[in-house]
Amino acid sequence: MRIVLGIGAGIAAYKSCELLRLLTESGHNVRVVPTADALRFVGEPTWAALSGEPVSSGVWDDVHDVPHVRLGQTADLVMVAPATADLLARAAAGMSDDLLTAVLLTARCPVVFAPAMHTEMWQHPATQANVSVLRERGAVVVDPATGRLTGPDTGPGRLPEPAELFAIALRVLARGAGGLAPDLSGRRVLVSAGGTREELDPVRFIGNWSSGRQGYALARAAAARGAKVTVVSANVALDDPAGANVVRVTSALQMRDAVMAAAAEADAVVMAAAVADYRPENRSDSKIKKTGASPPPLRLAQNPDILRELSRDRPRPGQVVVGFAAETGNLRANGQAKLAAKGCDLLVVNQVGGGLAFGTDDNEALILAAEGAETAVPRGPKEVLSDVIWDLVASRLV
């Protein structure tokens, strides 16, 4: 695929060197188009050496090739990372005062912006208005991460990690949007991920093997399709998905509170987390000591059924609710029984154990719909299953 990687004039430009490496090493042809001031942060020789392609920043370079038109016309994807406040403003205004903004005007392929700037600049009404304009025109604008910025400042405005931006690029390319508006643009979605832990004492807990990979793949896929994504994450040791607001929890009770709060604004909720059905009835405030005697029996209390509660008491009209069911027996029979009991719109049923589902990069599933339809997804990357799920969700959103 032919990719144009636009570089704005921000200190985060150094992180795009790693993004460029990931794109080229995966077999894509990448042409780097920096703004003139971006070259103050990372010089032209670096971009040329990493991409193996000539680097231009001005419309007067190589005029005989008409780069300000040809680059955009022939690209399969244009990704701008970092996208500064100034660059977002010029793109929203339709300006073409340098090569990069001219490429943005001529591109008829998917366009992804990854903003990076100080918190105050990101939150300014002018920047938010420019982002809204770009999204309305069909561009994917990935919300920045929250973290350390230039100097001592911390807050939203940090460029997501290169590997996460690379994953977004792959999902957009896989969709082959052809310049059409992403089908989840303007939608708010909520995804739960990971596995809850129920504490026995300050040292021990009851848990499960969920790694959060499927939930995070769902979050990346939704962001690549233009959605504003919130992830309620339970005990996940992965980089935050690019473009997602991540809320961290530990237990099922904490997840229930976080999910219910976020669901109030969500058009769709996908409960991919493995939520413990039970918790210890009594948690010890101190470590339970081994005395040599038989341990006391472990008494369990039932946790709230978050999926059933969400399905029954939907906080928004037309909200689509998707559940996951990890099974070890008859997928169809167990899944149909659980779908009827939970009351959700879609139930993703997958086999677990024996190296399947938990902690792996791939998955296979049977997706059951409340109206009786079935969609079988053969074993493959979790990103592929994610796109099938969002296809089904998008078709139900009104």
8 A C-beta contact, residue 53 and residue 29? yes
Catalytic position from the list 29, 130, 208, 235: 208
Q: Please tell me if the domain spanning 2-175 has the same topology as the one spanning 188-396.
A: yes
Find out whether 37 and 100 touch, Cβ atoms under 8 Å: no
Give tens-digit pLDDT for 152-172. 888 999 999 999 999 999 999
Residue 178 banded pLDDT, cuts 50, 70, 90: very low
Q: Give the pLDDT mean for 138-162.
A: 92
Sequence-ordered list of residues with C-beta below 8 angstroms from that of 201, at least 6 positions apart, any chain: 283, 284, 285, 286, 287, 288
CATH number of 188-396: 3.40.50.10300
What is the Rg, in whole angstroms, of the alpha carbon atoms belonging to the chain? 23
CATH superfamily of 2-175: Flavin prenyltransferase-like (3.40.50.1950)
- Pairing type for strands 111-115 and 374-381 reads unpaired
The stretch 129-151 carries a mean pLDDT of 93
Cis bond before residue 381 (omega within 30° of 0): no
- List helix spans (H) across the chain: 15-25, 44-51, 67-74, 85-93, 99-106, 119-123, 125-136, 162-175, 213-224, 252-263, 306-312, 331-342, 382-396
* Distance, CA of 276 to CA of 303 (rounded, Å): 7
Is 368 in contact with 335 (CB distance < 8 Å)?
A: yes
pLDDT in tens, 314-361: 989 999 999 999 888 788 999 999 999 999 999 999 988 766 667 788
CA angle at residue 349 from 346 to 354, to 5 degrees? 160
The token duo for 182 is 């992403």
Of residues 235 and 66, more confidently modeled: 235
More confident residue, 146 or 57: 146
The mean of the pLDDT values for the chain is 92
pLDDT of residue 351: 82
Pair of tokens at residue 167: 């994953």
The CA distance from 325 to 348, in Å, is: 6
Cα–Cα distance, 51 to 47 (Å, whole number):
6
- 130 belongs to the catalytic site: no
- For the chain, the domains span 2-175, 188-396
Give the residue, 198 or 68, on which the prediction is more confident: 198
Q: What is the pLDDT of residues 64-92, one digit of tens each?
A: 565 568 899 999 999 999 999 999 999 99
Task: Name the burial class of residue 333, with classes exposed (0-12), middle (13-18) and buried (19+) by CB atoms within 10 angstroms of its CB.
Answer: exposed
Instruction: Give the per-residue pLDDT at 179.
Output: 40
Confidence category of residue 181, pLDDT binned at 50, 70, 90: low
pTM > 0.75: yes or no: yes
Residue 16's pLDDT band, with cuts at 50, 70 and 90, is: very high
What are all long-range contacts of 363-369, with beta carbons under 8 Å and residues at least 24 apart? 363/214, 366/331, 366/332, 366/335, 367/392, 368/332, 368/335, 368/336, 368/339, 369/345
Kindly state the average pLDDT of the residues 276-299: 90
Checking if the pLDDT of 295 tops 90, the result is: no
